[in-house]
Chain A
């Protein structure tokens, strides 16, 4: 199958401090890939490295970052910008500040489309209208004339989704797209993602701290811990046969399957390491119930070729 994203051995550093250590993931065409982890585990940074949006002061390196058929690493800055703008849609977590508060929706939803696809403003607004009604607005014309703050959180997120879809992208990166929304709206938005995925055959990288949501909506998933992807594979496989103790604990201890945001997992003693993430050992070592001495210095990576099931642990 074709891959929409191939990310190999991504490192992200702030000066000498490693934030993301050797993260690799692969997203197949037309699938929803869930990336789960506690806050600070590096999932947003990983996504931002893919769209070239790392905050100033952070540097990254990788063996390969291929998105929608283009190697981002070897591309020039301009090519990178063009390619990402054209082929990747980004849906941020916080809906309030990602839309410009002083511009009407119609003045910001379509400018990427006009620029990359060389369309007139009129054509662009027609397309925007169509997409707005696709994401569930009854009267898209009115919405176009609103300022972002005149819309509710759920409505703003729909606008973001419509905006991300303008260029018919190959990939959508949705970073905690439902956190700021209330439960019923959350469901509607997620169903919308599912529908878009099925209908438009585009891939979605869904970043979430909500294991339940990822279990329900994703085809594949990756579990991130302290800047590493500790386990990844098809969602069904990972949930039926979790290999990494961290994944096992997550599935076992959290009844709601939701990792609370910004709160340490008290059910697992200890804290997520935010220093020394460049260690060759297992970063979960200090909290792992099954830790062995060797785990502190060395960790084994497993790759099950048949099922694409990957995990890094010294247990077999």
Chain B
């Protein structure tokens, strides 16, 4: 069990290391001189050369990489030239926005996916099943920016029920906070619910086919026990893994949704960094976001292991 955790930890670190290499070197080939970008077009060549040297850009690439990596460990990701602020501070400020809408979106998606996934598997080929399968397909095919625009028109402009842009921190006003994250979360949830519903449905169908379901039926238990204690319990592993992956993906920035609803989250930062080719900011963001993804995936894997005792024993070498 411990060896499994160590194993996963080791491969997570390898992934992050690979990501850091990809990120650093890919972004280093961006055309244009960062010093020039910072100083603008009217700067003298001397000034540019001076800043260039001051930023350490005249050193060999591997030296630059190593010192960048070292700074990363100290949580110092440099200074964004667009904002003129420390990348770490910028990220820290954006986290509450992105995390709030991601988590709330997943809560909605999980609720709908489990409800309809289970019903749809239990009553396969029923109307509920066809409805669920339509959600599965449509959820994956409707672009989030489009559904976002539609929701803004209906909820925000036509009926004026909900705000259509901006973020209200939770400590300012709870209702304001919920109202400000509801529509963006809904848009994200619509994008994720299809995939999750599909996994819940197929895991449930598989679990319902297992022999232990026969046993539960022979015992004459009530439907709740049969479908939740037996069927659902045997169908949790795959959905939980997917939930982890989706949460990781959302927590890593929801660029499109943050753009439509004008939310100051991680996604907005990414877009700004890309638009302005703010390499330092982009490097920091990419490293931070992929670390989040890797850490959440790791936590979910370990959680699933505890839930699924056979993996545990497998790694104990039963």
Selected interface stretch from A82-90, A226-234, A292-300 = A82-90
Q: Contact partner of B212 among A52, A84, A99, A116, CB < 8 A?
A: A99
CA–CA, A103 and B230, complex, Å: 9
**Is A98's CB within 8 Å of the partner chain B?**
yes
CA–CA, A19 and B84, complex, Å: 80
Q: Contact partner of B233 among A84, A99, A103, A116, CB < 8 A?
A: A103
- A98 to B220, Cβ gap below 8 A? no
User: Interface size of A by Cβ–Cβ distance < 8 Å?
Assistant: 27
Residues of chain B contacted by A103 (CB below 8 angstroms): 229-230, 233
- B211 to A115, Cβ gap below 8 A? no
**Is B75's CB within 8 Å of the partner chain A?**
no
CA–CA, A82 and B222, complex, Å: 9
Residues of chain B contacted by A92 (CB below 8 angstroms): 211, 214-215
**Is B219's CB within 8 Å of the partner chain A?**
yes
Q: Smallest Cβ distance from A99 to chain B, in angstroms?
A: 6
- A116 to B215, Cβ gap below 8 A? no
- B221 to A101, Cβ gap below 8 A? no
CA–CA, A310 and B318, complex, Å: 52
Q: Are A90 and B218 CB-contacts (below 8 A) given A97-B211, A102-B309, A150-B313?
A: yes
Residues of chain A contacted by B222 (CB below 8 angstroms): 115
**Is A236's CB within 8 Å of the partner chain B?**
no
- A98 to B309, Cβ gap below 8 A? no
- A53 to B218, Cβ gap below 8 A? yes
Q: Which of B233-274 contact A (CB under 8 A)?
A: 233-234
Among B212, B220, B230, B234, max chain A CB count under 10 A is at: B220
- A115 to B219, Cβ gap below 8 A? yes
Residues of chain A contacted by B309 (CB below 8 angstroms): 101-102, 147, 149
- B233 to A115, Cβ gap below 8 A? no
Residues of chain A contacted by B221 (CB below 8 angstroms): 85, 111-112, 115
When C-beta atoms are compared, the residue in chain B nearest to A56 turns out to be: B124
Residues of chain B contacted by A119 (CB below 8 angstroms): none
Residues of chain B contacted by A98 (CB below 8 angstroms): 211-212, 214-215
Contact with B along A70-101 (1 / 0, CB 8 A): 00000000000111111010101010011111
**Is B93's CB within 8 Å of the partner chain A?**
no
- B219 to A53, Cβ gap below 8 A? no
Q: Smallest Cβ distance from A131 to chain B, in angstroms?
A: 15
Contact with A along B153-189 (1 / 0, CB 8 A): 0000000000000000000000000000000000000
Q: Are A85 and B234 CB-contacts (below 8 A) given A92-B215, A102-B307, A115-B225?
A: no
Instruction: Please name the 7 residue pairs, one residue from A and one from B, whose CB atoms are nearest each other, closest first.
Output: A85-B220, A112-B219, A97-B211, A81-B220, A100-B212, A90-B218, A98-B211
Instruction: Using A81-B220, A102-B308 as known contacts, list a sample of 6 further A-B pairs with CB atoms less than 8 Å apart, ordered by residue number in A.
Output: A86-B220, A90-B214, A90-B218, A98-B212, A100-B234, A150-B318
